[in-house]
Copies of this chain bind each other. A is one copy, B any other.
């Protein structure tokens, strides 16, 4: 998988006209530039540089005690090492490569392209002061967005497998969940399901799964509570798994029938249908070349047109090694999303579609699906929820 992404890196550098991309890192076990798991595949201890060039060089400069491990990886065309200091070695390697533009990982817009710390940036500027390279540094935003965003067939296969496992667990939740359970009971059930098969949650276990029942819940990113599930509640769950380093991130909506109900009341059904239709509308225009905010707007406008408040977040984000896999995004042009909603969608990107609608007195209807962008449109990797699941 690393080899596949490194090969893609060489192609992207040529496409974007950037001679070299450098990851500059230290003590990555404590805090890892997210590009490291994408193209490096191991942790470093001391100041280390990983340099990829248009010509197909993949060069590592690492501390002496890390060298053997990096040699063994066989991800690099050359592994240099140092004992006392890396400064002269890094300058010498760069002089031999002689790049005009060197992309490094800083970005105001995209956290996935922003793995270089400010202290490391200052070091880099000192190392290359008064050299031909001191003004050669540019943001790697475009490189990282392309290498991380454009998923290879094997990456897509892994995400799809994570989706399938997640939906199978949701089927078991349907059999398990009953009025009288606490949100926490449902969450514990899911945690136990993945423990049994030794699979990790896709994000922080404190809110993966997140389980919300009824009209007075806290909203996303919150741990399951002692709240009792009651007849008349809408329940939604946000959950995903990490399988072979790639994740899913899917939401489903259930309704708990009251004793006298045979089906969900009209307002609940309408909330569910509105979310379902907003997802289908967004999917129908999601294709290469469209700016992300336009996809969000179609879903957002539809929901408002049906008399609901707009959802207080983005329609969708990318998924890959992380549940939030970086630029681009299907988001409104709010300050908090900065320039990212203006990026054009590309083939191979994998997005969530996750609008939500609040249904007074019952709870929140929300589904989160996952789609991959193809040349002529998009394809669902999750089997979309088309029926409201009613539990008595």
Query: Is A82 an interface residue when CB atoms closer than 8 A count as contact?
Result: yes
List of B residues within 8 angstroms of A239 by Cβ: none
Known interface pairs A30-B112, A218-B68, A322-B29; A336-B204 also in contact (CB < 8 Å)? no
CB pair A203–B336 under 8 Å, yes or no, is no
Query: Is A152 an interface residue when CB atoms closer than 8 A count as contact?
Result: no
CB pair B119–A65 under 8 Å, yes or no, is no
| Chain A window 112-125, contacts with chain B (Cβ cutoff 8 Å), 1 for yes, 0 for no | 11111111111100
Partner of A115, one of B31, B68, B109, B220: B31
Q: Which residue of B lies closest to A141 (CB)?
A: B119
Listed stretches A38-46, A91-99, A165-173, A375-383; interface member: A38-46
CB pair A117–B119 under 8 Å, yes or no, is no
CB pair A114–B106 under 8 Å, yes or no, is no
A334 to B85, CA, bound (A): 7
Interface size on A (CB < 8 Å)? Answer: 64
A313 to B120, CA, bound (A): 21
Query: Is A160 an interface residue when CB atoms closer than 8 A count as contact?
Result: no
CB distance from A30 to the nearest CB of B (A): 5
Query: Is A223 an interface residue when CB atoms closer than 8 A count as contact?
Result: yes
CB pair B117–A106 under 8 Å, yes or no, is yes
CB pair A29–B114 under 8 Å, yes or no, is no
A34 to B29, CA, bound (A): 11
CB pair A65–B219 under 8 Å, yes or no, is yes
Known interface pairs A30-B34, A223-B72; A336-B84 also in contact (CB < 8 Å)? yes
Known interface pairs A29-B324, A114-B120, A204-B29; A64-B312 also in contact (CB < 8 Å)? yes
Q: How many copies of this chain are found per oligomer?
A: 2
* A interface, over-half SS: loop
Query: Is A111 an interface residue when CB atoms closer than 8 A count as contact?
Result: yes
List of B residues within 8 angstroms of A87 by Cβ: 335
A37 to B78, CA, bound (A): 36
A121 to B218, CA, bound (A): 31
A31 to B23, CA, bound (A): 15
CB pair A108–B84 under 8 Å, yes or no, is no
| Chain A window 34-74, contacts with chain B (Cβ cutoff 8 Å), 1 for yes, 0 for no | 10000000110111000000000000000111101100100
Pull 26 A–B residue pairs with CB atoms less than 8 Å apart, ordered by A.
A29-B323, A29-B324, A30-B322, A31-B34, A31-B115, A42-B206, A64-B219, A64-B312, A68-B222, A69-B221, A72-B223, A83-B312, A83-B334, A85-B335, A85-B336, A87-B335, A106-B118, A108-B122, A109-B119, A110-B119, A111-B117, A114-B119, A117-B117, A117-B118, A118-B121, A121-B121
A111 to B44, CA, bound (A): 13
User: From residue 305 to 357 of chain A, which have CB atoms closer than 8 A to chain B?
Assistant: 312-313, 322-324, 334-336
Q: Which residue of B lies closest to A36 (CB)?
A: B31
A120 to B118, CA, bound (A): 8
**What 10 A-B pairs come out closest when comparing CB atoms?**
A85-B335, A68-B218, A114-B119, A106-B118, A118-B121, A84-B334, A65-B220, A27-B111, A107-B119, A114-B117
